[in-house]
Chain A
Amino acid sequence: MDDPSQIVQAALLARESPSYFPQILSSVLDVALVRANNNELSSKVLLACVSFIHSAFVTNKFDINLRKSNSHLLLPLLEKLLINDKPSISTLIVQKSLEIYYSIYNFIFNYLINNPLKEIWNKLSNLNNYLIDKLYTSYPLNPLNKHNDLNRSIGCKLAILKLIHSIILTQLPNNNSIIPSNHPFLYNSSINNQAHSLIDFLFNYINNPIIHSTLIFSTILSILMSLFKLKSQLISNKLLNFILSYESQFKFSNYFNKLLKNILLSKFNDRLDKILLSLLLNRGFIDKDLPLKSRFSKKLSYMIDESIKYKKNLLDYKDNLKEDPNHPIFFNESSIPLNLNYKSLFSLIDPNYDTKDDNTNSLNVSSLDPNLRNNLIIESLKNVSNDDLNYALSIIINRCFNYKNKLQEENKETDNQVNINIQEQQQIQEQSQIQNESDYQQNIIKSSLSPPPIHESHSPVIIHSPSPPPQSFELPTPSILKDSDKELQINHLLSSPNEISINYIIRLITRGININTIYSNKLRELLFNYFKENDLKQNIDNIIIWLNEEYYSSFIVNKTNINNYLIYTNKIIDSILPFIENNDRNLIIRLLSELPYLNDEIILKLKSLCMDPLRNKMIFQVILYLIMFKPPVLNSCLNLIKLVKQDALNVNDENLSNQCDNYLSKYSK
């Protein structure tokens, strides 16, 4: 069943001959699970499988007994598709899976009453908790910002709300004795408590300070109306108070929405509130409570007046809109890059934003004239506040780290998949051997509908090659920019540095903005000062990383006249040598051995330590290490020793002179 049309045919067969339904369902589940396990989460075959299950269990096209008895079989697939943080999954598949889940929830729950399988109950509970937590996120989409995420992936949110409705109805039945008192893990009290807390959750959710999309708002009201009938005692006070107190002008509007959209959302939600007020008043729901009825009448009159007030000019309503004081700063604040490219790593604007008049989103910054780009960056940095810039950098750094972690995870998964495939191959080979030895005939229908074997038994064992790693980031082609007169205000970058920001700054200096000497030199100086003021020895790791990056940039990529590597290596050595103690032998060995290039000038800086009677023993060990393990600096070391010997003779230091002779006789060949 590699073709979606085969799934459609299977669905037709199941509808025409319901007796085949269990077999067809089993085969479709197998196919879907294979696709899900192979991370083909947006494939048309998987969608066809999920659509078949959706039509069978959601749209009531099959007998209820068939649905009841087979519901629990869907759980592994639903778990695989729903507990999934992979952004590659199709939103439509997730939404359909959610709709299937809420449609079968009561079937599985009732199945558990008669078949106390703790494992299934645990899966059910995990799935419920996971999904309900996702209501405040953009699940399954990547996040953008807290305002927009509330109203993204709406279809999935509506399905999760319906799931809550389903859980409440299932776990809070009118007849409390539905679960036998001797059930090993389902207890009426805890099951009811869960449902009660979900009712509170629904009211908390609808009372969110940021205005809801009308789709979500109206769905919650429909659910509450249903619960109002079925669980009147639990709902009525809360619902009536909510309807009385709701007014969209008390809600924060979405910071990134168009003004008109915010106005329309407020208008739509208020209209729904007005309709509910009218319904409850006119259909006698609150006739017995006269004070309440009077409050409802007053509120209704007020809402009618308000709607008339803004009927002539809708935009007058804008004065009622409230801005969230803690609104998001950037549209795309996601710590996960949407795609694996530089643009996604650095872009903080709406990824879907492109209008006739504004093509910022599709603008290729690297294609701009260097001077223009230069001025653009300087102006932007001048205008942005320190806090915003720091926040933006922290988002980008998090994206880098997420990307790195994702790569590591994918590598692990690939390794695991290879192992699983080897095991599967072994099992298939074993099974084929057994089958060849017996006269077993597979059921014809089953065989025609079952997924194709991963490998033919007579074929040689083929291990699925690991999927290629995601495309690596490519460095942009460096180009030389003219110096700008404008000074860059970047001191705040190192105002509160940490491991992440230092790494980021090192990359920025050597790979990011190295094409502009004003920015990069300013940052180099700041970075050097930072190391100097914050104990060079403690920062030796970062210093080595930095100087290696500088070497790469100065010697390999740019080959400029000004060699930043040598400038800052000299500065670092000059700054660190006066503070080297005898117990820092390993540290200085490490520094000198891991620096990619040392010249005479750098090696000669060790002379002062050689002349120091307290530290010369340690530094000679360092020189010995360089002689032994760093052949390119052999001559420089011997020159150094010769100079030290000359100075030793001048000051009549016989011991030092002998030590130099010893080294020279041994290695100067």
Chain B
Amino acid sequence: MDDRQDLRFCTVCASNNNRSMEAHKVLRDAGYTVRSYGTGSAVRLPGPSINKPNVFPFGTPYTEIMKVLEGQGIKVHKNNGVLEMTVRNMNIKKAPERWPYFNQPPQKLPEDEHPGFQNELDFEIVITCEERCFDNVVEDFLARNYFDPMEINNKVHVFNVEIRDDHESAQLGGKAILELANNLSNLYKESIENVEKFQIWEDQIEDVITDWQEKYKNFPILYSLCYH
């Protein structure tokens, strides 16, 4: 991991549609290597009414989702921002992907859709957008440590930035996530560029988190170091 010139990111929310995709876009536009997942059982989007959500299996292309939404009347989805969100997603990747839970069938795009990654967990930083997703991701890594006990060589730093699941909050949260990513990336690059420096980046991660949390009090943060 220390031989890499920069960190690679993975953003995670429940449906891989709103918060994780906004963060995906923001990080990608800033030049980072990034991919994204959802930890829920399916992609859930607002439907024509509150008790009729749109549910799609992970892997359903955003173009398909768009067609369904358009079929339900543009006005409804334009007001809640879902249409705009889906158009944005279509420009980022083909379909929402499910977090690659250990020993569960993959619901993700082929690896060649993700340049810069060699496999589904080939990243150093995970940023989830909801405590529930953070718990799922950390629990999955701990379960991997149990069920695949010889494989604990790769480190992944998992963060949660709690963001409400609406279009506006996702945009604000995306900016906060970008700053966290910038701070981590600067710390990492500074550490590998200066061999003579006697403190390496892991010593300062918690200080970076603390400073970030002081600035973004409305986005409660969680953190854990995981292995796979």
Q: Which of A153, A218, A271 touches B203 (beta carbons < 8 Å)?
A: A153
Within 8 A of A (CB), among B141-184: 141-143, 145-147, 149-150, 152-153, 155
Task: State in angstroms the CA–CA spacing of A261 and B200 once bound together.
Answer: 19
A298-343 at interface with B (beta carbon < 8 Å):
311, 314
Interface segment among B14-22, B40-48, B90-98, B220-228: the answer is B220-228
Chain A min CB distance to B89 (Å) = 29
**Are B225 and A218 within 8 A (Cβ)?**
yes
Residues B139 and A279 in contact, CB atoms below 8 Å apart: yes
**Within B163-216, which residues are at the interface with A (CB < 8 Å)?**
191-192, 195-200, 202-203, 205-207, 209-210, 213-214
Which of A95, A96, A215 is close to B205, meaning CB atoms less than 8 Å apart? A215
Interfacial residues of chain A within 160-212, with CB under 8 A of chain B in the complex: 162, 165, 169
Interface assignment of B3: CB less than 8 Å from any CB of chain A? yes
Chain A CB within 10 Å, residue with most, of B134, B149, B196, B198:
B198
Q: A154-B202, A279-B143, A314-B220 are in contact. Are A229 and B210 (CB under 8 A)?
A: no
Q: How many A-B residue pairs have CB under 8 A?
A: 130
The reply on A155 being an interface residue by CB < 8 A is yes
Q: Which of B220, B226, B227 has the most CB of A within 10 A?
A: B227
Q: Which of B78-122 contact A (CB under 8 A)?
A: none
Which of B155, B203, B209, B226 is close to A152, meaning CB atoms less than 8 Å apart?
A: B203
Q: Shortest beta-carbon distance, B103 to chain A, in Å?
A: 11
- How near does chain B come to A461, taking the closest CB pair, in angstroms? 32
A145 to B111 CA separation, bound complex (whole angstroms)? 47
Contact call B203/A44, Cβ cutoff below 8 A? no
State the CA gap A278–B132 with chains docked (Å).
12
Bound Cα distance from A158 to B134, whole angstroms: 22
Knowing A153-B203, A272-B138, A311-B220, say if A91 contacts B149 (CB, 8 Å): no
Mask of A355-387 contacts with B, CB within 8 angstroms, 1/0: 000000000000000000000000000000000
Task: Flag whether B70 is at the interface (Cβ < 8 A).
Answer: no
Chain B residues, CB < 8 A from A274: 135
Q: Contacts A222-B145, A225-B146, A283-B143 known; A264 to B227 CB distance under 8 Å?
A: no
Interface contact A218-B226, CB-CB below 8 Å = yes
Complex Cα spacing A54 to B143, Å: 27
Find out whether the CB atom of A162 lies under 8 angstroms from the CB atom of B152. yes
Closest to A225 in B: B145
Cα distance, A44 to B196, chains bound together (Å): 9
Q: Which residues of chain B have C-beta atoms less than 8 A from A225's C-beta?
A: 142, 145-146, 149
Q: Is A422 an interface residue (CB 8 A)?
A: no
User: A155–B200 contact, CB under 8 A?
Assistant: yes
Contact (Cβ within 8 A) B139 A278: yes
Q: Is the CB of B141 within 8 A of A222?
A: yes
- Inter-chain contact A90/B142, CB cutoff 8 Å: no
Q: Check A279 against B200 for contact (C-beta < 8 Å).
A: no
Inter-chain contact B198/A87, CB cutoff 8 Å: yes
* Chain B proximity mask over A245-274: 1 for CB below 8 Å, otherwise 0: 000000000000010110011011001101
Check if B209 sits within 8 Å of A51, measured CB to CB. no
Check A261/B149 contact, CB under 8 A, given A92-B192, A141-B199. Answer: no
Residues of A near B139 (CB, < 8 A) are 275, 278-279
Interface centre among A218, A279, A311 (most CB of B within 10 A): A218
- The reply to whether A222 and B135 contact each other, CB–CB distance below 8 Å, is no
**Chain A residues positioned under 8 Å from B147 (CB to CB):** 229
| Interchain CB contact under 8 A, B226 and A222 | yes
Q: Check: A493 CB closer than 8 A to any chain B CB.
A: no
Nearest CB in chain A to that of B221: its residue: A264
A161 to chain B, nearest CB (A): 10
Q: Is A347 an interface residue (CB 8 A)?
A: no
Contact A222–B227 (Cβ < 8 Å): yes
B225 & A219 in contact (Cβ 8 Å cutoff): yes
Given A92-B192, A221-B142, A276-B142; A229-B198 close (CB under 8 Å) = no
Does A627 belong to the interface (CB within 8 Å)? no
State the CA gap A261–B204 with chains docked (Å): 12
Give the residues from 205 to 235 in chain A that come closer than 8 angstroms, CB to CB, to chain B: 213-215, 218-219, 221-223, 225-230
Indicate if the CB atoms of B222 and A271 lie closer than 8 Å: yes
Q: Cα distance A271–B131 when bound, in Å?
A: 10
Asked whether A566 is an interface residue with its Cβ less than 8 Å from the other chain, the reply is no
Q: Which of B3, B153, B214, B223 has the most CB of A within 10 A?
A: B223
Tell me, in angstroms, the Cα distance from A595 to B111 when the chains sit together. 85
| A33 CB–B CB distance under 8 Å | no
- A264 and B149 contacting across the interface, CB-CB below 8 Å: no
Contacts of B2 in A (CB 8 A): 51, 54, 92, 95-96
A162 contacts which chain B residues (CB < 8 A)?
152
- A281 → B minimal CB distance (Å): 11
Which residues of the other chain, B, contact A96 by a CB distance below 8 angstroms? 2
Please name the residue on chain A nearest to B198 by beta carbon. A91
Complex Cα distance A272/B197, Å? 31
Nearest-CB distance from A265 to chain B (Å)? 7
Given A47-B195, A222-B227, also A213-B206 (CB < 8 A): yes
Asked if A268 and B195 sit within 8 Å, CB to CB, the answer is no
CA distance A222 to B152 in the complex (A): 8
Q: A218-B224, A223-B152, A311-B220 are in contact. Are A275 and B135 (CB under 8 A)?
A: yes
List A contacts of B221 (CB < 8 A): 264
**Cβ–Cβ < 8 Å partners of B145 in chain A:** 222-223, 225-226, 229
Q: Name the contact of A219 in the complex, choosing from B207, B210, B227 (C-beta under 8 A).
A: B227
Chain B residues with Cβ below 8 Å from A152 are: 199, 203
Q: For the complex, what is the distance from the CA of A230 to the CA of B145, rounded to whole Å?
A: 10
Within the complex, the shortest CB–CB distance from A139 to chain B, in Å, comes to: 12
Bound Cα distance from A265 to B196, whole angstroms: 29
Known: A92-B200, A95-B200, A260-B210. A278 touches B135 (CB 8 A): yes
13 A-B interface contacts by CB (under 8 A) = A90-B196, A91-B197, A91-B198, A92-B192, A152-B203, A153-B199, A154-B202, A222-B152, A229-B146, A229-B147, A271-B224, A278-B139, A311-B220
Q: What residues make up the interface of A, taking CB atoms closer than 8 Å to B?
A: 42-44, 47, 51, 54-55, 58, 87, 90-93, 95-96, 103, 141, 151-155, 158, 162, 165, 169, 213-215, 218-219, 221-223, 225-230, 258, 260-261, 264-265, 267-268, 271-272, 274-276, 278-279, 283, 311, 314
Shortest 7 CB-CB contacts between residues of A and residues of B? A226-B149, A225-B145, A261-B210, A229-B149, A218-B225, A222-B227, A42-B196
Residues on B lying within 8 angstroms of A by beta carbon are 2-3, 134-135, 138-139, 141-143, 145-147, 149-150, 152-153, 155, 191-192, 195-200, 202-203, 205-207, 209-210, 213-214, 220-227
